Amino acid sequence: MSQPHTVPPFAVISGAQVQRALQDREAQIVDLVEATYRLHAAGESVNPPSYFLRFPDRPASRIIALPASIGGQVRVDGLKWISSFPDNVQAGIPRASAVLILNDHDTGYPFACLESSIVSATRTAASAALAADRLTRNRQRPTRIGFFGTGLIARYIHTFLAALGWSFDEIGVHDLSRRSAAGFSDYLQQTGTAARITAHDNPEDLIRASGLVVFATVAGAPHVSDPAWFGHNPTVLHVSLRDLAPEIILASTNIVDDVEHCLKADTSPHLAEQLTGNRDFLHGTLTDVMSGRVTPPTDRPVVFSPFGLGVLDLAVGKYVYDETARSGQLNVIEDFFHELRRHG
C-alpha cells in the first residue's frame, strides 16, 4: 500500500552551504552530469525551452527561467531563475545571480530554495570538463589551453579540469578587461600550477597558441570571425555560445548538448542554421560521443556548444540538498506553507 502524500518541509540553502557541499567533489559531479545527460537522452526528463525575460530599458541584461524535471534516481522537478546583468561587473559585484527551486516529485510542493550561481557555475564547468575529456580521446590531449573571458565560469572550468588530472604547459588568458585578466592570472598562480601563464592582448594570438580554447564571455553576438585562426584544429569549449561567426561553425565539427535547445536565441549554431537553412553542420550531441555513435575527426576544429540544460541544475541542486540534509545542516523554514486544510 502506497504511503499517503505529505507536504515536505521547506528549506533554504545558502551559497556558503552550497559551496561546502560541492567542495572537492569535482569527479563526483562530472559523473553526475554524465549520468544526467544519459537520462536526458533516454527520455527520462522534461526540459522545456528556456524563457528569456528582457528589458527595453536594459537591453544588455536578462533573467532566464529554466524549468525542468528529471527521473531516474533523482526524481525531482524545479526551476532555475538566473539573471545576467553585465553592468554589475563595473560596480564590483558578480554579473550573474540565481536561485534554484526544487519541487517534490509526488506532491509538487517546493521543498528547497538554493542559492544557485554556484550550482550553475558547477554544472557548467562539469559539462565543459566532461566534453574536454570525451572530445579529445581520439586525439592527443592538448597541453596548451586558452581562456577567452576570465570570470567565474573560467575559474570553475579550470578548477574542474585540474581536479580531473589535466595539466598544461601553457595557459593563455585574454579578456577585454585587463583588470579581469590580471585577476584570473593571479588566481592561476595561486593554484600552484606549473604552467607558463601568458596574457594575450590579441585574441588571434590566444586562439592560435591553444590546443584547447575556452570561450566564457558575455558576448551577445559573434566577435570572432576568421576560420584561419582555428587552422591548427583545436578543441573549442564554446560555453558562452555566441562568440563564433557562422563561418567558423560551418568549418568545424559541431557537438551540442541538445539540438533543439542550442538552435535558439541567436546562438552561433542558430545563426549558422539561419545562414544555411539546414542543420547539416551539426554532427551530434555529447551523449552521442559518449556512447560511441559519433567520433569527432582530428582534421577539423571540434566545437562544443552547450546551451545549458535545466536538468543539470536539478541534478546538482538535489545533490547539494541531499548532502546538506545528511550533514544535519538544513535550514528549515517552519510553517512556510500555512493554509494546508482545504476548509480551514
Continuous H helices in the chain: 15-22, 26-41, 117-135, 152-163, 178-190, 203-208, 246-250, 259-262, 268-276, 286-291, 310-326
DSSP, collapsed to helix, strand or coil, labels residue 9 as coil
For the structural domain made of 125-305, what CATH number should be given?
3.40.50.720
- What is the reported pLDDT for 1? 43
CB proximity list for 279: less than 8 A, separation 6 or greater: 259, 263, 273
DSSP, collapsed to helix, strand or coil, labels residue 302 as strand
**Interval 229-253: pLDDT, tens:** 999 999 999 999 999 999 999 999 9
Q: Tell me the mean pLDDT in the region 294-299.
A: 95
HSE, side-chain direction, 13 A CA sphere, residue 18? 24
**5, pLDDT greater than 90:** no
- What is the reported pLDDT for 343? 73
Q: Do domains 10-119+310-333 and 125-305 have the same CATH topology?
A: no
**2, pLDDT greater than 70:** no
**344, pLDDT greater than 70:** no
**Interval 196-209: pLDDT, tens:** 999 999 999 999 99
**282, pLDDT greater than 80:** yes
**Interval 69-109: pLDDT, tens:** 999 999 999 999 999 998 998 898 988 899 999 999 999 99
Q: Grade residue 228 by pLDDT with cuts at 50, 70 and 90.
A: very high
Q: Tell me the mean pLDDT in the region 138-145.
A: 94
Query: Could you state, in order of their start, the residue ranges of all structural domains in the chain?
Result: 10-119+310-333, 125-305
Q: Which listed CATH number (3.30.565.10, 3.30.1780.10, 1.20.1440.230, 3.30.470.10) goes with 10-119+310-333?
A: 3.30.1780.10
What DSSP assignment string belongs to 130-163?
HHHHHHTTTSPPPSEEEEES-SHHHHHHHHHHHH
**Interval 309-325: pLDDT, tens:** 999 999 999 999 999 99
